[in-house]
């Protein structure tokens, strides 16, 4: 049985394989496509709606327990590359 995670954008539960893990590296949100980077991670659907919702609600900052604002340009560029 596959483990289940909650998307920080839409707050729905989904299998781990359906979500993208992200981590904070030097105050930037970075996609962890292999889900193997060290540190605390957050899970989000690979859709612009979920990522934008997480950014708007500051969910990445809370989930990754960051002490300040996070740069989300890397994850936004990753989504544009994979979807467009």
The closest alpha carbon to 40, from 16, 58, 65, belongs to: 65
* pLDDT (mean) for 57-67: 96
pLDDT score recorded for residue 82: 87
pLDDT score recorded for residue 17: 95
pLDDT score recorded for residue 71: 97
pLDDT score recorded for residue 36: 95
Pairing of strands 13-15, 28-32: unpaired
For 2-52, what is each residue's pLDDT tens digit? 899 999 999 999 999 999 999 999 999 999 999 999 999 999 999 999 999
Residue pair 22/60 in contact (Cβ under 8 Å)? The answer is: yes
Predicted TM-score (pTM) of the model is: 0.93
Residue 61 structure tokens: 């900052």
Q: How far apart are CA 44 and CA 65, in angstroms?
A: 16
Strand partners, 4: 15
Q: How confident is the model at residue 1 (pLDDT cuts 50, 70, 90)?
A: confident
Domains and CATH numbers, the chain: 4-83 (3.30.1230.10)
* Residues across the chain: 84
């Amino acid at each position: 049985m596959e483990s289940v995670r909650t998307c920080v954008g839409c707050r729905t539960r989904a299998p781990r394989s359906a979500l993208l893990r992200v981590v904070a590296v030097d105050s930037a949100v970075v996609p962890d496509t292999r889900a193997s980077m060290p540190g605390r991670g957050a899970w989000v659907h690979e859709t612009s709606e979920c990522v934008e919702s997480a950014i708007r609600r500051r969910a990445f900052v809370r989930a990754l327990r960051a002490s300040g604002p996070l740069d989300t340009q890397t994850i936004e560029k990753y989504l544009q590359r994979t979807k467009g």
